[in-house]
Amino acid sequence: MGAIEKALFGFIDKAVEKAKKRTLPSHLEDDGLLYCDICGAPIQCRQEILGKEMILPCICKCEKAENDRKKEEERQAEIANNIIRLRAACFDSAEMRKWRFDADDGKQEETSKISKNFVKNFDKLKADGRGLLFFGDVGTGKTFQAACIANGLIDLNLSVRMTTIARIVNDLQGSLSGRNEYFDKLCRYELLILDDLDAERNTEFVNEVIFEVVDGRHQSGKPLIVTTNLTRKEMLMAQDKNKKRIYSRILERCYPVNVIGIDRRKASLASDFAEMKKLLEG
């Protein structure tokens, strides 16, 4: 027997062995072939190969459906595992992984609507490189809204990174890898979220880092979301040349959303301490 014949019969033997692992019920008919108990179709056939009659497996529609179901289960499991990895890589704080739209108290209806529509229409917004600028007072929920968007997109198996300039600066100072590689990595995420812009130190190096990150997203055509306590007017009227070019890039691509409301952090602290007061002084 030549090499081609050996390879052919080896392939057939593997197919036969695989068919033996069929889990769906079958029965033997008078013609000596197996038939599916469910659909009644043959799962074996006779075929002459190189002058030799062989009984070979064939797939009925039931088995095909079962195989498709298993493949889909494997695909869904792979997606679920990847989503876990994406969520872990997205946030600097594990608490933010829990910040979802279904946990929104609905007090900022218009802002919530914009955030949900950003996720819903992300394909189109991503194609145009369009992002968001959440601005407003401290504690009004800007970071929460941005994290909800991040989690919503991660649920769609999309890569998102939510971080701060302070964290990026620390990473660059403590990283052994090159600076360019680090910025390239930030540009590969389908969405980058810079939280609490302008809370970092105002130094030449920090401003250079901010510009490189923002400009990198701008040049790559990928969307950016920024949260800041600055007002849009303050960004437009910035006198510092370095700040001005940073804000110009942001305002060019990021739709401004004024997040108005009470300081939720203060309200939460007041509530927490009221409960403590009862426990400690009651």
User: Residues 62-113: pLDDT tens digits?
Assistant: 988 888 999 999 999 999 999 999 999 999 999 999 999 998 887 888 999 9
> What does the alpha-carbon distance between residue 95 and residue 79 come to, in Å, rounded to a whole number?
22
Over range 39-44, report the average pLDDT: 88
Name the residue among 140, 149, 128 with its Cα closest to residue 193. Answer: 149
CATH number of the structural domain spanning residue 230: 3.40.50.300
- Domain hosting residue 42, numbered range: 1-90
Q: Which amino acid is at 261?
A: G
Please write the tens of the pLDDT for every residue from 150-195.
999 999 999 999 999 999 999 888 665 688 899 999 999 999 999 9
119's tokens: 């996720």
Name the residue among 125, 146, 150 with its Cα closest to residue 134. Answer: 146
Domain termination residue (choose one: 43, 75, 90): 90
Residue 269 has a pLDDT of 45
User: What is the pLDDT confidence band of residue 140, given thresholds at 50, 70 and 90?
Assistant: confident
158 lies in some domain: yes
Q: What is the three-class DSSP state of 26? A: strand
Q: Are residues 226 and 97 both part of a single domain?
A: yes
Q: Are residues 233 and 109 both part of a single domain?
A: yes
State how far the alpha carbon of 207 is from the alpha carbons of 204, 229, 231, 241, 250, in Å: 5, 17, 18, 10, 14
**How large a percentage of the chain has pLDDT more than 70?**
83
pTM, entire model: 0.76
159 lies in some domain: yes
Over range 131-138, report the average pLDDT: 94
Strand locations in 8-144 (E):
26-28, 34-36, 44-49, 52-57, 131-135
On the question of pLDDT at 266 being above 60, the answer is no
